[in-house]
Amino acid sequence: METLKLLIFVGTEGIYHDHAGNGQFLTSMLNDTGEIASDFSQDYNVLADGLSGYDTVLFYTDVGELSEAQEMGLLNYIRAGGGFFGLHTAAASFRESEGYHGMLNGFFNGHSPYMDFTVNVSNSGHPITEGLADFGVTDELYYLKHNPDTSHHLMHAYDETKDETHVMAFHHTYGEGRVFYFALGHDMAVLENPSFQTVIRRGALWAGNRL
């Protein structure tokens, strides 16, 4: 399999996550797989005209603003067949960018307390989840504004604090590109979870048409 070229793009405007440190950890972890060549960037200008060298871009961002050129550069890249992987606070980012959230089909709408909960596999027939068992995590359980009719759900979790079940991972296409979103990723407690790391690796490969 040809090595996947991945850009991990990290925004640091949020104050509740160590995006830079966590993003660098993910970059190293994925580079160690031997299947993925990951670059780490915090330069917004790369979104306008610097994505063509990558098969997939992973957003680990929070709040922030996209210029028109940056948003259009990203969306055009995905429409033309580039992969997009939104992680955790990617759904809480760029809140005025309607095109971005339309592409993602997810908008942050709160979360549970930081707590232990179980992530359940909704669809075990997909390459991202094949052979993956339900797994326990310590994280924030995200609530999203999301249209379930336009995405395929892969994982969900039950929030005992609200007696509600919420989607944790889904995928769809946007133009010619593949889009994958995974709601976990608050801190190192989950980033070091082997099942989480499996989903990160497979999600990047799937978005880049390697799975």
The order of strands in the sheet holding 56-60 is 36-41, 4-10, 56-60, 83-87, 177-182, 164-174, 152-159, 115-121, 135-139
Domains and CATH numbers, the chain: 4-207 (3.40.50.880)
Any idea of the CA torsion for 134, 181, 11, 31, to the nearest 10 degrees? 70
Q: Of 42, 39, 19, give the one whose Cα is nearest residue 28.
A: 39
Tens-place pLDDT, residues 99-112: 999 999 999 999 99
Given a cut of 90, is residue 20 above it in pLDDT?
no
Phi/psi of residue 128, each to 5°? -70, -35
206 CB-near residues (< 8 Å, 6+ apart): 83, 127, 128, 171, 178, 180
Any idea of the CA torsion for 154, 161, 183, 125, to the nearest 10 degrees? -10
Average pLDDT value over all residues in the chain: 95
For position 46, what pLDDT does the model report?
A: 95
144 token code pair? 């999203």
CA 155 centroid distance within chain: 13
For position 14, what pLDDT does the model report?
A: 63
105 CB-near residues (< 8 Å, 6+ apart): 146, 147, 150, 151, 170, 172, 179, 181
Which sign does the torsion angle of CA 196, 198, 204, 206 carry? Answer: negative
Beta-carbon count within 10 A of 143 CB:
18
Tens-place pLDDT, residues 108-163: 999 999 999 999 999 999 999 999 999 999 999 999 999 999 999 999 999 999 99
For the chain, give the percent of residues with pLDDT over 70: 98
- Residue for token digits 């790369």? 46
For position 6, what pLDDT does the model report?
A: 98
Which sign does the torsion angle of CA 189, 191, 194, 195 carry? Answer: positive
Amino acid at 92: A
What is the spatial distance between Cα 59 and Cα 9, in angstroms, rounded to a whole number?
Answer: 5
What predicted TM-score, i.e. pTM, was given to this entire model? 0.96
